[in-house]
A and B are shown apart, each in its own frame.
Chain A
Amino acid sequence: MIPAGFEYHRPGDIASAIGILQQHGDEARVIAGGHSLIPMMKLRMAEMGHLVDLQAIDELKGIEVGADTVSLGAMVTQHELITHDGLASAIPLIREAALQIADPQVRYMGTVGGNVANGDPGNDMPGLMQCLNATFDLSGPDGNRSVAARDFYEAAYFTARDDEEILTRISIPVPGAGVGQAYEKQKRKIGDYATAAAAVMVGNGQASVAMTNLADTPIWSDAASAALAAGNVDACVAAMLDAIDPVEDNRGPVEFKKHVAAVMLRRAIARAQSRAS
């Protein structure tokens, strides 16, 4: 399986990368870890004349853990998310979810930026970032802007990011002390995408609930979150089942997916509640 040919670029800063995207328009595409894009290219489902590798851009790297906010560079790998002690203390939910993504080799290469920017409904980080109320920083020809994770996803592989923009960093508010967090994922085997996955935060009278791979975008539900904040688990699950829109595929029929969604959500809620104080 050989992809179609392309010219390779490895710019050293964001401005140069954007310049290449501007110059080549929709003939150019950025590559981060490549573990979503390269398989697509091998299947000839993605072709581009110019591939812009972001690996040499230092501005896209690094994990910064502040008192109120965590900043993740788009090129931070899943492996780095898992092995960063400060991040695991500040927002343990991220490590818990990252450990359930793909397999070790893929996690060394796969990046958080690629995972959230690709717009694949199967990816775990978009739902997680919606649960955490993260903000995505974008840089483009017209400057910088930020888009809330909860507003970013439009349809499968369609997001608020313009073609000539690069997702540079992710900002995440650090949940207050006493907030319990949990990520539950049902998958057919290690490395698989979720049949259903739930990200839950609960505590201090607040809650946030998002689910993965049960619609053509991640689903964060205001109604489900409000119900859980009020302590009503049944109403939370009912509201989420109302919000999701799974389709039948090789992971099962719609009824099964809704069943699994409810099981995952209840497990995540129970575990998050057990961790709240």
Chain B
Amino acid sequence: MSKMHVKLTVNGKQVEGLAEPRTLLIHFLREDLKITGPHIGCETSHCGACTVDIDGKSVKSCTTFVAQVNGADVTTVEGLTNDDGSLGVLQEMFREHHGLQCGFCTPGMITRAHRLLQENPNPSEEDIRFGMAGNLCRCTGYQNIVKAISASADMLNAQNQPSSREAVGQTKVEAAE
């Protein structure tokens, strides 16, 4: 089968390449672009380790052909750092709350949580558990993952309220400035 010309935006950068249409997005990201944050876990659409954000949607990149996302805007966990390269809020909170042990599921967890908080900035614990149902962790039992996402929501909301900037998340605000 002939290769097709693929052009997409990944983490804010325009990228181009040649790929067979049957190439799965996860393989294009990891092998062609060397973006290895998204992981290959189950490869059967269940575990969510390969989750990336495509045009504002959380998507399992093991179940997406690169041909389907030709022209799309893709964000991986690498794109969720602060502009200066330091850890973004979700990444920092996963570290602070021990939201990982082996870390294999973490890129998918954080990328999915990013979209969840975009759509629901004040999620309840139930909202978080339901919203994260497409991501499996085999180490932590989820408690600390939920805590990390909840703490991220609090911090992001505080950052968005100028009056309370100094009270919560001061270091993050300074980093952002």
Contact = CB atoms under 8 A, between A and B. Distances in A.
Nearest to A39: B45
Contacts of A39: 44-45, 63
A35 B45 contact: yes
B123 interface: no
A46 to B, nearest CB: 12
Contacts of B48: 103, 105
B126 to A, nearest CB: 13
Contacts of B67: 8, 10, 51, 53
Contact of B21 (A5, A35, A103): A5
A38 to B, nearest CB: 5
Interface in A50-109: 51, 53, 55, 79, 102-106, 108-109
A142 interface: no
Range of interface residues on A (Cβ < 8 Å):
20 to 34
A109 B24 CA distance: 15
Interface in B28-84: 43-46, 48, 51, 57-60, 63-65, 67-68, 70
Interface string B125-164: 0000011111000000000000000000000000000000
A108 B119 CA distance: 13
B1 A42 contact: no
Contacts of A106: 45, 60, 63, 134
A104 B132 CA distance: 7
A118 to B, nearest CB: 15
A8 B59 contact: no
Given A2-B22, A4-B22, A35-B63, A104 B43 contact: no
Contacts of A5: 1, 20-22
A4 B134 CA distance: 27
Contacts of B45: 35, 38-39, 105-106
A41 B58 CA distance: 22
Nearest to A43: B44
A45 interface: no
B43 A42 contact: yes
A190 interface: yes
Contact of B1 (A6, A55, A102, A191): A6
A87 B6 CA distance: 36
Contacts of A10: 67, 70
B59 A191 contact: no
Nearest to A5: B1
Interface string A105-133: 11011000000000000000000000000
A8 to B, nearest CB: 4
B59 A109 contact: yes
Interface in A1-41: 1-8, 10, 31, 34-35, 38-39, 41
B112 interface: yes
Contacts of B134: 102-106, 191
B4 interface: yes
Given A8-B67, A104-B131, A3 B22 contact: yes
Nearest to A1: B43
A42 B57 CA distance: 23
Contacts of A104: 58, 112, 116, 130-134
Given A53-B67, A104-B131, A106-B134, A7 B1 contact: yes
Contacts of A191: 46, 133-134
Given A31-B68, A41-B22, A79-B57, 15 more contacts: A2-B22, A4-B22, A5-B1, A8-B4, A34-B65, A51-B67, A102-B134, A104-B58, A104-B112, A104-B132, A104-B134, A105-B45, A105-B48, A105-B58, A106-B63
20 contacts: A3-B22, A5-B1, A5-B22, A6-B21, A35-B45, A38-B64, A39-B63, A79-B57, A103-B48, A104-B116, A104-B130, A105-B58, A108-B58, A109-B59, A109-B60, A109-B63, A109-B64, A190-B133, A191-B133, A191-B134
CB-based closest 9 A-B pairs: A103-B134, A5-B1, A8-B21, A108-B57, A105-B134, A8-B67, A190-B133, A103-B133, A105-B60
